[in-house]
Amino acid sequence: MFFVLWVLATVWMFVCFRLFERYQVRTFQAIVANYWVCALLGFSLKSAYFSSHVADSVRWGSWALVLGGLFISTFYLTGLATKHLGLAVVTLASKLSFILPSLLSLWLIPNALASMTLLKWLGLGLGFVAVFCSVYQPKKTDEQGASEHPNGKSSVYNWLLPLLVFVLGGIIDSLLNIANERFFEGQEANPFFVIGIFSVAGLCGSLVLLWQVLKDKKTWLRPQEYLWGALLGIPNYFSVELMLLVLKDYNNNGALVFPIYNLSIIASSACLGAFFFKEKLGKLNLLGLFLAGVTILLMLW
């Protein structure tokens, strides 16, 4: 159930990004509001544990600082990519980030390598093929014969944003996996570890937003950005909490958890993109989704 809720929370965040343009929501402002919603929600839910856990923050405080900065950077890039390149394409491309935490988990987490059977290795390899097939988008040709991205963006814009999301997303998942193993040793994560990450992300975003406001007062938050910040922030907070719970239940075996999670996101987001946003999927994309399903079955066998 934790796993299913984690997937649903993440898919909803991608849907929110896709709806920003329709409702004229500025991405960065909504993201800043979202992180303060996450922090406030965490404090309201975990305030009773404050005195007994706050002293423990000395151990993981620097990790929360780094992760907070990475969170807002990656979230902003994901929002831009989803807005300009489409829900299915960007979600599928960004989910390649499972490669980094999967491989690092095999290397750093005890017993992760020993748990990998032949079918799981086959599934992991097939998962890479599934993602590449799923993200493939043919180039359109204009009247002069020049090729362009299906959404009208340049080729550099097309690969640079997903590449940055891939690298930063992989680093975030890897650091969370390692922190969960190193600091919490299979027990429930300190609630203020998650709150600390969101608070740092909100503070970093607020400082950037303040600098923008000093240059142009029109960049300040509008009512719709508070609203969408809340719609984004509530599932965002629980997605991180659920991620740590799922990793704990699977002995921090990211090599098993992240491929299944990311491929579940791939299938869900592609179906939503095609059904609700009329995003077209080619034959190769459909093959990728089929391979994603086969991969999940192999990993869970």
pLDDT > 70 fraction of the chain, expressed in percent and rounded = 76
In this prediction, residue 248 carries a pLDDT of 85
- What is the DSSP secondary structure assignment for residue 139, as one 8-state letter? P
Residue pointed to by tokens 């909803």: 12
Would you give the end-to-end CA distance of the chain in angstroms? 18
Of 16-30, 123-137, 144-158, 202-216, minimum mean pLDDT range: 144-158
Q: Is 4 helix (H, G, I), strand (E, B) or coil?
A: helix
State whether residue 136 is helix, strand or coil.
coil
Whether pLDDT at 242 is above 80: yes
125 pLDDT exceeds 70? yes
pLDDT of 146 higher than 50: no
pLDDT at 228: 92
Range of the domain at 212: 2-300
Q: Is the pLDDT of residue 38 over 90?
A: yes
Torsion of CA 87, 65, 98, 164, to 10 degrees: 50
Helix 2-20 and helix 87-94, axial crossing angle in degrees, nearest 10: 130
Confidence of residue 145 (pLDDT cuts 50, 70, 90): very low
Q: Where are the beta strands (DSSP E) in the chain?
A: 140-141, 147-148
Per the structure, the count of domains in the chain is: 1
Confidence class for position 78, pLDDT limits 50, 70, 90: confident
The rounded distance, in Å, linking the Cα atoms of 282 and 38 is 37
Confidence of residue 239 (pLDDT cuts 50, 70, 90): very high
Lowest mean pLDDT among 16-20, 92-96, 262-266: 92-96
The model's confidence at residue 50, banded by pLDDT at 50, 70 and 90, is low
Place of tokens 């849907």: 15
Residue range 265-285: average pLDDT?
A: 77
Tokens 């993440």 locate to 10
